[in-house]
């Protein structure tokens, strides 16, 4: 019986060794895949970190640019408002002087008219007195 068992045991040992070899190859393949996956995950994490940093820098740069442009526009707007105020002040002063000038001319004419009316009235009084005499 030992001779009959011996070839069967040898065949089983060969199968076990073959399965052990296949299992070792599979473990090696799995380890290699695990190493590749770890490396890919590490690379993906670094890529994600680089993307987040790039996005943050882009957002910060965009906000700084927009803030700068808004400041420039506000400065231009303030300059235009100041210039408009100066122009309005100059125009108002010119208008004020023109009104004062015309008012003075009107007062002179009024005074002249009063003098003329007073002179005519005096002439009329003298004529009336002359006719009464």
Question: Can you give the pLDDT at residue 127?
Answer: 84
Q: What confidence category does residue 3 fall into, taking pLDDT thresholds of 50, 70 and 90? A: low
The predicted model scores a pTM of 0.51
Q: Give the pLDDT confidence of 87-128 residue by residue, as tens digits.
A: 999 999 999 999 999 999 999 999 898 988 998 888 888 888
Question: Can you give the pLDDT at residue 1?
Answer: 47
Q: Report the distance separating Cα 112 and Cα 28, nearest Å.
A: 124
Structure-token match 């906000």, residue found: 63
Q: Report the distance separating Cα 51 and Cα 57, nearest Å.
A: 10
Read off the pLDDT of each residue in 80-92 and give the average, rounded to a whole number: 95
Q: Give the pLDDT confidence of 20-41 residue by residue, as tens digits.
A: 999 999 999 999 999 999 999 9
Read off the pLDDT of each residue in 38-51 and give the average, rounded to a whole number: 98
CA 98 to chain centre: 46
């Amino acid at each position: 019986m030992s001779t009959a068992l011996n070839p069967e045991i040898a065949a089983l040992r060969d199968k076990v060794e073959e399965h052990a070899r296949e299992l070792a190859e599979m473990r090696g393949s799995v380890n290699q895949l695990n190493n590749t996956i770890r490396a890919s995950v590490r690379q993906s994490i670094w890529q994600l970190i680089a993307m987040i940093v790039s996005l943050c820098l882009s957002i910060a740069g965009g906000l700084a640019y927009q803030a700068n442009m808004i400041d420039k526009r506000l400065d231009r707007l303030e300059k235009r408002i100041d210039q408009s105020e100066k122009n309005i002040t100059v125009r108002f002063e010119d208008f004020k002087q023109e009104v004062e000038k015309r008012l003075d001319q009107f007062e002179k004419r009024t005074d002249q008219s009063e003098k003329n009316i007073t002179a005519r009235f005096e002439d009329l009084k003298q004529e009336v007195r002359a006719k009464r005499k």
